[in-house]
Amino acid sequence: MSDPRDVPVSQLLHKIVSALIDRPEFLTVKTSATEDGATFTIGAPPDHTGKLIGKQGRNAKSIRTLLGAAGMKLRRRYTVVITEEHLQSPGGGFGDP
């Protein structure tokens, strides 16, 4: 069962990640509850995951640091997983037109 404290953190994560990629309509953020927090799985097309991770993982590390700070305040542990997903475009086709 999801904790209500995780909802604002998920919204924050979605806003941050949407700002990093070119086409936020292909972005998915899934939340799964853990014993003492939540795991956020960010799914983006393969050509956008590089922007999420950043050079030498700096963007990913920064995102994890922000969620870690939010988790400390809420006494929760948050984990971020970035995955490549081949998502279907809103127009019905795959990938960029």
DSSP annotation of 97 reads -
pLDDT digit string, tens, across residues 47-92: 888 999 999 999 999 999 999 999 999 999 999 999 988 755 554 4
For 30, 31, 93, the CA distances from 62, given in Å and listed in that order, are 19, 19, 33
What phi and psi, each to the nearest 5 degrees, are found at residue 25? Answer: -70, -15
Residue with tokens 């953190």: 9
Q: Return the CA Rg of the chain.
A: 14
Alpha-carbon distance values, 3 to 9, 29, 80 (Å): 11, 16, 17
Topology annotation, domain 6-84: GMP Synthetase; Chain A, domain 3 (3.30.300)
Residue 97 has pLDDT above 70, yes or no: no
